[in-house]
Structure 1
Amino acid sequence: MKFHKSVLWLFVLVAALGGLSSGPATAQQADPPILEYPQTMLRGFVSAEFKRPGGDCRRICEERSGCAGFDFSSSTNMCRLYAAVSAGQSEFSYSAGTRNRIAGYRDPANLPPPPDAASWHFAQFTGVDLYGGDIVPKGLEMNDPAMCASACERDNTCKAFTFNGEQNRCFIKTGYEFVQSAAGVTSGMFFRAKPAEARVQLNAEWDLFLMSDLPGNDLGEVPAQSYDQCMRRCEGNASCGGFTWVYFSRQDHCYLKYGTSLFPSRTTKGMVSARKSNRDIVPDFVRPTPNRDY
């Protein structure tokens, strides 16, 4: 660990002044001990810098009474402790924490909201596909839904995600068009609500079956160059209860199905099927999440 010269006198000065205050004492009493600033690099008097995991960086600062704040670079694993913090600036690969609010900068992410104020929450659903709104059309290769949720949380334009466990693909989204139930799929969304009203319920309009056919009950074949086009063809037909879209052949085919007795059959060929549904779905859990208004 490397300490910068002349830091001892500054520790004494800060202690004598009772810390650097940017607001009334009454407002600070309710603040957490360390105020969190994601995607932020600090400016000020650096007292020490060293390579440690991010959690160690925060713990060491918390244990040192003279530490006014810290920042941590996820790209270099470099932790910097500050004897005084003068400013903050947005930096994607950094996270920071301070004992006092940074004057003239955005609010910390972990401030407790006023009792009746709307704040951000996160809801996660098992067996749910949120269709549309993809930021990356082909998705991102990932191994589990937790990684997908983290990718969405790091991107402030992301308001929802769907993780396809069969293909190990993560689709982060600015929003979504409609909801489908689907086995092996996990989705999540960020939403604003008052703490006492932080509830969300989705309505699944379709049951989605990946790598599956709906054998029999053929209503007819219609042209469709995408799953979305095939779905819209069925949606606009009162007799259609579901469809199978075939994409392994040279020309894509859309087979409409009639009735409600439609049951999937797994296949190794490039097919995806869906049937009309009308089912309310509640989340696995809802939890508060840091501010996403910036």
Structure 2
Amino acid sequence: MRRGGLLGAWLVLLVVAAAALAPRVAHAQANFDRPGADYLRLPVDSNDPADCALMCERDRRCRSWTFSYPQVPEDGAFCWLKSGVPQRSPSNCCVSGVRGAGVIEPRNGSVEASIDRFGGDFRSFEMKANEGDDACKAACEQDNKCRAWTYARPGLVGRNARCFLKNQVKPPRRKPGFVSGVVR
């Protein structure tokens, strides 16, 4: 009886140790840059960070990557492939990751990253340089006609960011560089 209990304890210990030593899945980090170690800059016509992650996967030299959203429509988006894994630093310009990470968009319930709710617009306006999707959401919350909103990053529908207020809740559709939400 004592031998069975000891064997069970060893099995539990082995399972706990295996779980602790198992590799953790790394995910790309939205709103982070990894400056340095660049060896190649490629255009990304789709404006999709997942395409940049795929470019890194297909290049043996690549160890990490940074996707840069367009700053103006004429520039387009770019993918920076890196020969190392530089420290990450907060920046709204980019999405960064390490090889094998893929792209996981942040989800917090009320904000839908990489989602456009196309149509139903009753008002749109250009955002100021220091305003982000929080300001667009706040504008919707303050307008009783507004039921949903969509924020477009700078360079996607014009030189500056743009906020679209909607009097109808339209179905979500994936569109990198856009952020949406439903208020009412």
TM-score w.r.t. the length of structure 2 is 0.45
Structure showing greater Rg = 1
Q: Which has the higher strand share?
A: 1
Q: Which has the higher helix share?
A: 2
TM-score w.r.t. the length of structure 1 is 0.31
